[in-house]
Amino acid sequence: MEFLDKLVLPQSAEHIQLLHYILMLVLFLFIPFISVVFGGTFLSYTFRKKFNKTGDKTFLRFAKDTIQLLTVNSYIGLILGIVPLITIILIFAQLLHTTTFPTVSDLSLSFLLVSAGLIFIYVYRLSFALKIVFDAVETKSADDFVKEEFTSYYSKTSKLSDNSVRLGLILLFIGMWIFTGALTTAVYFDAWKSSSFFATLFSAKVLINFLIWLCISFSLTGVTLLFLFLFWKKNELKVSEDYKDFVIGISSRYALYFSLPIPVLILLSINLLSDSLLSDTMFAYSAIAIILLFLSLNFVYLLYYKKQYNYVPYLFFTFLFAVLSLIIKDQITVNNATKYHSVVLSTEYDKILAELKGEGKGETINAAELYQVRCGACHKFDQKLVGPAHFDVLPKYVGKEAQLVAFIRNPVKVDPAYPPMPNPGLKPAEAEAVAKYLLEEYQKLKGK
Ligand code: HEC
């Protein structure tokens, strides 16, 4: 994805923050949509197979309804399925600019797979409609030639339909697995040891997050079907009581069984996060998600066992908000993990801006003096004062001057044993001079 990296310009710190918000909004659209498309297609596929086995028309009707209601239409598929993915790729290309991190190329691969998967799923949707038309056609009075044509087209459509739904599901499954892998590695951005593509896919962290997504996909599908049948499309659908009970039974069970494991999986995934990524806000959003999930379980219970259908909008929105909280939780962690890199990027931007403004040209900076005045009060090389002794913290910056400059320009919290370092307010050129000075002094003093 080098060509993307070349397109990206250095960003200001504010712009990077904005990118995080856009990313979150786009994920709000993408994740729920792709979840119900996958879950809905899967349901449709299984019930069509059941129909083929038993010939029970209720199964066929349910298979048709799920695919048609949950994929909405192909424009929505494009807008909510494909456009967000492109946006996510572009945002990560900017957030991880100048790194060799595989997130962007993995996301691009998942984009190809998911797009192809969606196309097959919409082909399935269309062929399903055709099959129903075929089913309704009377061929008794037609002559032999027409009959022959008819049977041939009929079997072709059936085959197309079967093949496309299978391919669509497989592509979406693999595509979303890779997508989860890419987002997970971004969460662990500063701690992820670069491993091979497959090692990443099969790592515990990625597998757990993928399982969470699969559970969300099936339970959200159940919840959405309940919402559509009992509330949103209640008047349009005009279903018989028997069919309604059938739909409620299946949807409630999906909603119930698949949302039960989610809290446990969330706790497991938090358990796997490294300490530096565990922020209070992240815990808060995980807790909110878990509470909302339990609340929605409660609503499913009222609906399924007590037949209190008026709770269905509450169920839908509580569940949706649980999913959104999970997305926020992950994005806060991504924000934390890339904080450091973001500072490096925005430092680059500040430097270019300063050069454009003509700052720092012509005047020579006395780094040693600057250091004494601006840093000396809190730092010594061999002794800790307010801040840590340089000998203790500089080793990790050897050969990484850009990171040191970034830290000095914009200190982030590092060691819990110390208070946070206040921003010393240096100009870009000054920060660079001080960083250089520090590293040179460090090498000199260390030699002694
Ligand atoms: C008001 C006190 C104060 C001033 C002034 C100050 N620092 Fe610090 N510095 C700290 C503290 C406290 C920490 C530890 C922060 C932490 O671990 O979160 C620190 C940490 C550091 C670190 C270690 C960062 C790391 O990754 O562990 C470096 C390098 C550093 N300061 C350089 C400087 C430089 C260069 C200046 C002058 C431009 C400066 N500091 C000015 C208080 C100060």
In a domain, 307, yes or no: yes
- Distance from the alpha carbon of residue 349 to the mean position of ligand 1, in angstroms: 22
Q: Whose CA is nearest to atom 19 of ligand 1?
A: 387
Looking at the fold, whether 328 and 423 belong to one and the same domain comes out as no
Q: Which of 292, 308, 338 is the last residue of a domain?
A: 338
Specify the number of domains making up the chain.
2
Q: How far apart are CA 69 and CA 231, in angstroms?
A: 13
Looking at the fold, whether 332 and 396 belong to one and the same domain comes out as no
One-letter identity of residue 411: P
Four-point Cα dihedral 135, 141, 143, 144, nearest 10:
50
Ligand 1: atom nearest CA of 438 is: 35
Looking at the fold, whether 280 and 389 belong to one and the same domain comes out as no
What CATH number is attached to the domain comprising 398? 1.10.760.10
In a domain, 344, yes or no: no
In a domain, 350, yes or no: no
Torsional class of 145: left (φ above 0), alpha (ψ -120 to 50), beta (otherwise): alpha
Q: How far apart are CA 58 and CA 228, in angstroms?
A: 18
Distances (CA, A) of 232 to 197, 224, 310, 390, 426: 42, 10, 12, 63, 58
Q: What is the pLDDT along the chain (448 residues), one digit of tens a residue?
A: 556 666 677 777 788 889 889 999 999 999 999 999 999 999 999 999 999 899 888 998 999 999 988 888 888 888 999 999 999 999 988 888 777 778 888 999 999 999 999 999 999 999 888 887 887 777 667 778 888 888 888 888 888 888 999 999 999 999 999 999 999 888 776 666 667 888 888 988 899 999 999 999 999 999 999 999 988 888 887 888 889 899 999 999 999 999 999 999 999 988 887 766 677 888 899 999 999 999 999 999 998 888 888 899 999 999 999 999 999 988 888 887 777 777 778 777 777 777 777 665 556 778 888 888 788 888 888 888 888 998 888 888 888 888 899 888 888 888 888 888 888 888 888 888 899 999 998 888 877 6
Assessment of whether the complete model's pTM goes beyond 0.85: no
In a domain, 343, yes or no: no
* Closest C-alpha to 99, from 199, 5, 183, 3: 5
In a domain, 348, yes or no: no
Q: Whose CA is nearest to atom 3 of ligand 1?
A: 378
Pocket residue to mutate for ligand 1, from 341, 379, 401, 441, most atoms within 8 A of Cβ: 379
Pocket residue to mutate for ligand 1, from 374, 383, 421, 437, most atoms within 8 A of Cβ: 421
Distances (CA, A) of 149 to 133, 134, 146, 152, 264: 15, 12, 5, 5, 55
Looking at the fold, whether 334 and 421 belong to one and the same domain comes out as no
Ligand 1: atom nearest CA of 396 is: 26
Cβ atoms < 10 Å from Cβ of 216: 26
Looking at the fold, whether 387 and 290 belong to one and the same domain comes out as no
In a domain, 108, yes or no: yes
Looking at the fold, whether 406 and 303 belong to one and the same domain comes out as no
Q: How far apart are CA 1 and CA 110, in angstroms?
A: 13
In a domain, 346, yes or no: no
Question: Which residues constitute the domain of residue 393?
Answer: 358-447
Ligand 1 pocket, CB under 6 A? 374-375, 377-379, 386-388, 393, 407-408, 413-415, 418-422, 424, 426, 434, 438
